[in-house]
Amino acid sequence: MAATKKKTAKKSAAKTAKAKSFIDQPINQQLSKEEKIDLYSMIVGIRRFEERSLRAYNQGKIGGFLHLYIGQEAVATGIVSLMEENDHIITAYRDHGHALAVGMSMNECMAEMYGKHTGCSKGKGGSMHFFAPDKNFWGGHGIVAGQTPLGAGLAFALKYKKIKGCAVCFLGDGAVNQGVFMETLNLVSLWDIPVVFVIENNGYSMGTSLKRSSAEENLAHRADGFDIAWEVCEGHDVFEVREVANRAMTRAREEHKPFLLEIRTYRYRGHSVADANHEKYRTKEEIEEYKRNKDPINVVRQQLMKDGTLTEDLAKQIDKEKKQEAEASTLFADESPVAPREEIQTDVYWEVDNDTEGKLKGTYFFNDV
């Protein structure tokens, strides 16, 4: 992570020193043994899925871009674990972790990346565009910060319909410099919209460090300009993420107020797999240090070993199962068919897909036939 000398960074470092106690906070204490194991399994599962995706990409099975979530797993896992029935989430293009965390299967995600008909979007969206509205997951969006007003809109709908819930909108540290995000911060504060913006600050917007892209490195401070409450926390400890995000989400649900949460995290891989030069803009030592001290799997494993939830054997078994699940998803994807060519022109218009009788007039598609 980019070093920063400013005040709040110190405040945040002080919080890290207290990190040991996060698992003992009420929101985490109430977790059953099974629920703690589930958190661990999810973090491991995302890691193994991403590693297997990388291999598939390098084998030429996956096309396009592949933005891996390795290193950031505890963020999506922690926040999604706090979702209640009427909460919704939306994110950017580094979306595999969020998709798995809401309960999408490795099969449908891997098949989507393989461009297969069995993929979550029938092979029409690809890696950056996973969706599961039935699980309150609204994508998967490819343009930096493009999802931020949509997240506000989900929360607007909840408020309009007087439904108690919140929307959590994830974005990266690069997205804070897009105009639409700042416009959206103003709107949600002006209208008291129950949305929590979570900046997953991994220190780099593509290959440009925070220091080289943002005038104020403490990104959460931008909330002050819009009279929005904010907090900063570390993203490697799933229990810390849960503790801090719970405050933000509860406030949104209870008081219909927006919140800006900056979570400092790290990605082990390049911006995308195509970013093979990621060791040019950061040192090997920086990457190794994070892996050694703040690896989300190690951090949760050590804590769960210590409190007796997890044994070495169980950890090994979970790891093995997740590897197998990821492997199986590649077989599933490999064996799945590509959608038939007719599918190119479905899912464009609702009215066409649903063949609303007597309503469909005129030409919708314009190829010569």
Q: For the chain, what is the radius of gyration of the CA atoms?
A: 21
Whichever of 16 and 121 has its CB closer to other proteins, that residue is: 121
Residues in the chain: 369
Whichever of 283 and 354 has its CB closer to other proteins, that residue is: 354
Please report which helix (H) or strand (E) contains residue 263, including its range.
strand 259-264
Q: In angstroms, what is the minimal distance from the CB of 35 to other proteins? A: 28
Whichever of 136 and 201 has its CB closer to other proteins, that residue is: 136
Whichever of 97 and 153 has its CB closer to other proteins, that residue is: 153
DSSP reduced 3-state for 146: coil
- Candidates 27-35, 125-133, 225-233, 240-248 — which segment interacts with other proteins by CB under 8 A? 125-133
Q: Using the rule CB under 8 A, which residue among 49, 114, 131, 290 binds other proteins?
A: 131
Query: Please, what sign has the CA dihedral across residues 287, 293, 294, 296?
Result: positive
Tell me how far apart the alpha carbons of residues 173 and 284 are, in angstroms, rounded to a whole number.
21
Task: Indicate whether 244 belongs to the interface with other proteins (CB under 8 A).
Answer: no
Task: Indicate whether 355 belongs to the interface with other proteins (CB under 8 A).
Answer: no
231: left (phi over 0), alpha (psi -120 to 50) or beta: beta
Closest listed residue to residue 15, CA positions, set 299, 306, 231: 231
Whichever of 3 and 344 has its CB closer to other proteins, that residue is: 344
Tell me how far apart the alpha carbons of residues 216 and 338 are, in angstroms, rounded to a whole number.
47
Whichever of 224 and 347 has its CB closer to other proteins, that residue is: 347
Q: Using the rule CB under 8 A, which residue among 31, 51, 61, 129 binds other proteins?
A: 129
Task: Indicate whether 63 belongs to the interface with other proteins (CB under 8 A).
Answer: no
Task: Indicate whether 157 belongs to the interface with other proteins (CB under 8 A).
Answer: yes
Whichever of 139 and 235 has its CB closer to other proteins, that residue is: 139
HEC profile of 79-101:
HHCCCCCCCEEEECCCCHHHHHH
Tell me how far apart the alpha carbons of residues 245 and 261 are, in angstroms, rounded to a whole number.
7
Task: Indicate whether 184 belongs to the interface with other proteins (CB under 8 A).
Answer: yes
Closest listed residue to residue 106, CA positions, set 338, 328, 339, 269: 328
Q: Using the rule CB under 8 A, which residue among 43, 80, 152, 249 binds other proteins?
A: 152
Taking each helix axis as running N to C, give the angle between helix 106-113 and helix 33-58, from 0 to 180 degrees, rounded to the nearest 10. Answer: 20
Q: Using the rule CB under 8 A, which residue among 29, 34, 85, 160 binds other proteins?
A: 160
Q: In angstroms, what is the minimal distance from the CB of 123 to other proteins? A: 8
Task: Indicate whether 41 belongs to the interface with other proteins (CB under 8 A).
Answer: no
Residues that bind other proteins (CB under 8 A): 88, 90, 119-125, 129, 131-134, 138-143, 146, 148-158, 160-161, 167, 179-180, 183-184, 186-187, 190, 346-351, 353-354, 359-366, 368
